[in-house]
């Protein structure tokens, strides 16, 4: 039996792009287009311009690919690019005011412990149903963390990398977001 | 091929979208490190001055009088300068957060390491450095440093040191560099080196708040050697 070569990881593909293989970007677009569109549509809470926003994310990712550290996770990096793009998008459209500096006390002095609790699949499913009903009513800060955790199913580590907040703060913010969304139901 | 993929790759092939070279990212990282280094050096410099000044004025010796000494040292610390150092360190962290192309840094750990290294480095350097750092800096006009200096500041300090010229049951008269002060003591006054320090001609270090030319002492001890050194210098100048 001939063993099939596993598909190259995102990081390997990103390294190829860094070395000049621009067509390899197509593979990453295939892998991330749908995910970023889904993330963007829910984060921005409206779906106009989402095509343009996602296109802009891939263009920025290509332009700045030399800043990517191939020893780290590509998904965190591209989501970080997406986060910046969506935040700029929100600021430009001014439908939801955001602070000028994406910097808060809890990002500087992290919580010593995250008060998260492990959730069962059923709880996660229930949470997703709740989110579908009330997500648009939440502030972008809470909306985004719920999206990254429940829809994108990213780990605390990855979310911490994307939002540039300590890992313990991810847990605390996630809990606050859950309490917040329940108020809107 | 999806529409989006086609559009993006077309733009790249037509060179409407160009990949940025690596060097600007590396340069930005280096500049960030240099800037952070400058800020940390500045913080270190301030801590050196601060600890040297506390040592040279005798403030650092206040804790020998226990809780009252510690309390007065604490409230007399130059908090604005400490706040300035803290803000400088936060600035480093914000710069790293906003401009570094790396990933998340463990903020608290990083700040703690820089903060602790700065404080202990400053204390160490000021203790092995030349004596009288603050005076030398002031005399060279390198920086005008009013902290704990000048006659008004000296009067506000919760400490006095000098030689006992008169000894009574509940007070002593001490001669400092520039004046004679009456020091009152009672049962609550602490004597960490014993009451033997109270003898005419002996140099003493007094912790206590001043009203006019009288000090109500919360502690009296031997005069630390470095303060004797400065007093001798002042006497010689006179």
CA gap A93, A115 in Å, rounded:
34
Identify the pLDDT of residue A4: 58
pTM: 0.60
Q: Burial-class residue B42 by CB neighbours within 10 Å (0-12, 13-18, 19+).
A: middle
Asked if the model's pLDDT at residue B194 lies above 70, the reply is yes
Residue B77: φ, ψ to 5°: -65, 145
Which residue of chain B is at minimal alpha-carbon distance from A27? B5
Q: pLDDT (tens digit, 9 = 90+) per residue, B121-161?
A: 777 776 676 666 656 665 554 444 444 455 566 667 788 88
Identify the pLDDT of residue B220: 92
Q: pLDDT (tens digit, 9 = 90+) per residue, B6-24?
A: 999 999 999 999 999 988 8
Which residue of chain A is at minimal alpha-carbon distance from B97? A164
Is there a contact between B20 and A63 if contact means CB atoms under 8 Å apart? Answer: yes
Overall average pLDDT of the A139-149 stretch: 88
Average pLDDT, chain A: 80
Is there a contact between B5 and A108 if contact means CB atoms under 8 Å apart? Answer: no
Is there a contact between A63 and B94 if contact means CB atoms under 8 Å apart? Answer: no
Alpha-carbon distance B122 to nearest alpha carbon in chain A (angstroms) = 24
Q: pLDDT (tens digit, 9 = 90+) per residue, B88-114?
A: 777 776 766 665 544 445 555 666 677
Overall average pLDDT of the A8-27 stretch: 93
Identify the pLDDT of residue B135: 61
- The Cα-based distances of B25 to A57, B32, B103, B123 in angstroms read 18, 10, 13, 36
Mark out chain A residues that contact chain B at CB-CB < 8 A: 17-18, 22-23, 25-26, 29-30, 33, 51, 54-55, 58-59, 62-67, 69, 72, 76, 101, 103, 107-110, 160-161, 164-166
Overall average pLDDT of the B159-175 stretch: 89
Is there a contact between A59 and B108 if contact means CB atoms under 8 Å apart? Answer: no
Query: Burial code of B166-199, b = ≥16 C-beta within 10 A, e = fewer?
Result: eeeeebbbbbeeeeebebebeeebbbbeeeebbe
CA B235 to mean position of chain CA atoms: 27
CA gap B220, B205 in Å, rounded:
6
Classify the C-alpha dihedral B70-B76-B80-B82 as positive or negative. negative
Overall average pLDDT of the A102-119 stretch: 53
Whether the Cβ atoms of residue A53 and residue A86 lie closer than 8 Å to each other = yes
Asked if the model's pLDDT at residue B165 lies above 70, the reply is yes
Overall average pLDDT of the B111-121 stretch: 72
Alpha-carbon distance A89 to nearest alpha carbon in chain B (angstroms) = 18
Of A18, A25, A110, the CB nearest to B108: A110
Of A62, A165, A166, the CB nearest to B17: A62
Residue A18 tokens, joined: 């860094």
Identify the pLDDT of residue B97: 64
Mention every residue, 6+ apart, whose C-beta is less than 8 A from residue A150. Answer: A124, A127, A128, A131
Classify the C-alpha dihedral A110-A116-A121-A123 as positive or negative. negative
Q: pLDDT (tens digit, 9 = 90+) per residue, B37-90?
A: 787 787 777 777 777 777 777 888 888 888 888 988 888 777 777 787 778 777
Q: Strand runs (DSSP E) across chain B, as ranges?
A: 159-167, 171-175, 180-184, 203-211, 214-222
């Amino acid at each position: 039996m001939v063993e099939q070569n596993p598909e190259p990881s995102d990081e390997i593909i990103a390294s190829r792009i860094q070395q000049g293989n621009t067509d390899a970007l197509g593979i990453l677009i295939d892998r991330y287009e749908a995910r970023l569109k889904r993330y963007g549509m829910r984060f921005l809470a409206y779906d106009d311009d989402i095509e343009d926003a996602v296109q802009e994310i891939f263009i920025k990712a290509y332009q700045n690919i030399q800043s990517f550290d191939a020893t780290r996770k590509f998904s965190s990096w591209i989501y970080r690019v997406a986060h910046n793009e969506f935040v700029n998008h929100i600021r430009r459209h001014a439908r939801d005011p955001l602070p000028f500096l994406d910097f808060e006390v809890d990002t500087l002095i992290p919580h010593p412990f995250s008060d998260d609790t492990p959730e069962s699949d059923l709880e996660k499913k229930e949470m997703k149903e709740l989110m579908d009903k009330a997500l648009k009513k939440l502030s972008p800060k809470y909306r985004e963390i719920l999206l990254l955790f429940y829809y994108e199913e990213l780990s605390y580590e990855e979310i911490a990398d994307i939002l540039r907040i300590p890992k313990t703060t991810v847990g605390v913010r996630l809990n606050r977001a859950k309490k917040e969304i329940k108020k809107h139901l | 091929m999806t529409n989006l993929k086609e559009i993006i790759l077309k733009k790249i092939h037509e060179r409407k979208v160009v990949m940025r070279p690596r060097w600007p990212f590396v340069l930005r990282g280096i500049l960030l490190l240099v800037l952070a280094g400058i800020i940390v050096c500045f913080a270190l410099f301030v801590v050196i001055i601060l600890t040297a000044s506390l040592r040279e004025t005798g403030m650092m010796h206040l804790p020998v009088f226990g809780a009252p000494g510690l309390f007065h040292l604490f409230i007399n610390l130059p908090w604005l300068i400490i706040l300035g150092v803290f803000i400088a360190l936060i600035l480093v962290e914000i710069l790293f957060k906003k401009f570094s192309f790396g990933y998340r840094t463990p903020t608290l750990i990083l700040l703690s390491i820089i903060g602790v290294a700065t404080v202990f480095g400053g204390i160490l350097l000021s203790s092995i450095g030349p004596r009288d750092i603050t005076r030398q800096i002031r005399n060279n006009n390198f920086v005008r440093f009013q902290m704990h200096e000048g006659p008004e500041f000296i009067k506000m300090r919760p400490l006095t040191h000098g030689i006992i010229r008169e000894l009574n049951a509940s007070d002593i008269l001490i001669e400092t560099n520039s004046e004679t002060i009456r020091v009152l003591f009672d049962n609550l006054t602490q004597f960490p080196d014993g009451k033997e320090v109270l003898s005419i001609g002996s140099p003493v270090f007094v912790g206590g708040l001043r009203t006019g030319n009288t000090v109500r002492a919360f502690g009296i001890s031997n005069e630390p050697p470095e303060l004797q050194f400065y007093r001798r210098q002042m006497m010689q100048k006179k």
